[in-house]
Amino acid sequence: MSKPKQERALDDQEAQAITRNIRVSPRKLNLVAAMIRGRPAQDAVAQLTFSKKRIAGTVKKTLESAIANAENNHRLDVDQLVVSRAEVGRSIVMKRFQARGRGRASRVEKWFSHLKIVVAEREEAPVAEAPVRSAPAQQEGAA
């Protein structure tokens, strides 16, 4: 016996990738996730490639997985993909102890995180040309 089928939680124009138990605090991971939210997928990959944050490599792998899922599983156009959501969540916290002075100890917490990236295919919006603005007319006789 297998589990009953569940309805798909995402729209037809969306694909996702999830990475669990990443060894970084959610606060630091959210800084990197905020860089790519709402950006076109190819721009987000380029931004993560040249980011100096250590965790950017893991976020890039998750984003590339979401792009591959969109292309191979859902037949979406890769050139039209946008990072619609990048969600960061808490995972486990490892508790360790560090020796301190006078025989005491203090607690060290090592945070883990979850990352969920959802890419969506954007609709092609018609590009409207901006109206041409003329330079303000110079007033004659004004100094």
Q: Which tens digits make up the pLDDT trace of 120-138? A: 999 765 555 666 666 666 6
What's residue 67's pLDDT? 98
CB 84 within 8 A of CB 118: yes
**Distant-in-sequence contacts of 92-97, Cβ < 8 A, 24+ apart:** 92/21
Q: Which CATH superfamily is domain 14-121 in?
A: Ribosomal protein L22/L17 (3.90.470.10)
Sketch the domain layout of the chain as residue ranges: 14-121
**Total-model pTM:** 0.82
> Residue for token digits 């969600």?
87
Please tell me the distance from the alpha carbon of residue 45 to that of residue 42, in angstroms, as a whole number: 5
Sign of torsion, CA 47 52 53 55?
positive
**Sheet-wide strand order for 14-22:** 14-22, 105-121, 81-99
- Kindly indicate the confidence band of residue 119, based on its pLDDT and cuts at 50, 70 and 90: very high
Query: Span 49-63, mean pLDDT?
Result: 98
